[in-house]
Structure 1
Amino acid sequence: MPEINWMTILESQQDEFIIKLNYKIPAFTSTRGRCDFDGATHLEAVCDGDDEKEKQMNWFCEELTYKYYGDIDDFSDEFINYKIGKIGEESVKQYLGELISDIDYKLYEGGDGGKDFYLTNNTSVSLQVKTTCFDRTLENNFYSVLNEHGLDECEYFHSNEDYYVNLKHDQCEKVLNQMKWKINKQERDKNEICIFVLLLNQVVGEIICQNFGGIGYDYLETEIDVSYSSILCGFKPTYLLKPDTDIYLKDLFYIGGLKGYLKHFT
């Protein structure tokens, strides 16, 4: 009997995971994350409303944006990029728990060196998290929608609050097939594992400033219960990744094998 290749097993499991994802995600998005899903998939809210975690993320992302770009009002899309990344890290931390270090909210003069986490039982092993979002609406598209429907910003978010990212099945499949991440050479060289996260919240960039508490629906001044729902889409040892190339769902190893793979280093 030929030896079973662990990579082949995780690739096969990933294929099954993608089929489930395509089937279940329309119901998931329309219920704002309340649809039951695979046990190996992280779907819990990272933070709600204006709690301490939300404030901590906002402070960190504001400071990082100011450090590299200046006034956050002029670079709000960069602020959103940082925040999407931190939400992804929070999701991974909730999934892996004590296996990895705590999330780093320190500001370093020269940056964090391209590392997000390290293993608590082997600090020489670093992990990188790459996060993308399910529905990112940029400024030009945003105002086109407003003009088309004769809405102002508040009316737009009120109209979308109950719908979340409510896409039909064929639309979800198309979006998921196009979903991609990238890792640069520094991230590849400095980390042993890369984890890929999909943020399900709709994100509106380039129009959000520091006066807004979060991303998406809480653009409104009214109280809206905002939670961030993420899916851990898979992982890959960095030696198998090519820097600065598109990485798709089908290219990843099944996330359910991650904890077992990490045992290899402890």
Structure 2
Amino acid sequence: MLAMNYRGPYRVRTVERPMPEILHPEDAIVRVTRTCICGSDLHLYHGMVPDTRVGSTFGHEFTGVVEEVGPLVTNVKVGDHVLVPFNIACGKCNFCKQGLYGNCHESNTMATAVGGIFGYSHTAGGFDGGQAEYVRVPYANVGPTVIPPDMDPDDAVLLTDVVPTGYQAAEMGGIKEGDTVVVFGAGPIGIMAARCAWFFGPSRVIIIDHVDYRLEFAKNYAKCEAYNFKSMDDPVVFLKKTTDWYGADVCIDCVGCEAEGNALQTFTGKVTLMQAGAATALQ
């Protein structure tokens, strides 16, 4: 099968890889029908995630058709079209029982602070991801969810990461009825956070960015106010003025960890990447 293959910082290839196999009675093999490139994948691509090993296959957002199941799989069957959440969770440990699937104690032998994640380095378990033709999906009774027949796969794949991430940002913000919410960053997560914020009853949702086409899309899709911070003398003063000097009740940061900062930050970041590249070359 064809799969994306990581060769070191800023180097990826498409290569032939062996077909995945059932390794545990609760495994499933899924033929990928949709897969996404997440902003988080750029952290891997840039060499910024610890223990991202040469030969890894990225991809933690995908849908697919179940091709094979282990003998203990009962939640899905061959032929089901499923969406696969990015978390890999056993469903039985203490964390999973609390709904903390991202902290599953059984799915990641590499760490105790985080559970397994598809295609996200050996720090997150070393599982191959969905940027491939086929994927082995562990704990198939827990994660994969059958896509309703009236749902477009292009919509379903957004439920694997983008929508729940934006929703959780809004939920964790503790938005109350009548609040003013400001979302920084009009990328996919920021747009979803702005749209999901309305579920919690705010009076205003404002999104800030500097890319006009993103702001225009956010304004129409998330039904929020959208402003370009490059058109402001001081974004803080602007937000104060537009809220009668109270400021926002809830702020949600959806800019990401690789936002461009000052010259010193850019320089030190490039030095770090050079060191990572040198380390990879020595392996």
Query: Where on the TM-score scale, by shorter chain, does this alignment land: which range?
Result: under 0.3
Greater RCO, 1 or 2 (C-alpha within 8 Å, sep 6+) = 1
Higher strand proportion (structure 1 or 2): 2
Name the TM-score, length of structure 1 as normaliser.
0.24
Higher helix proportion (structure 1 or 2): 1
Larger Rg: 2
Name the TM-score, length of structure 2 as normaliser.
0.23
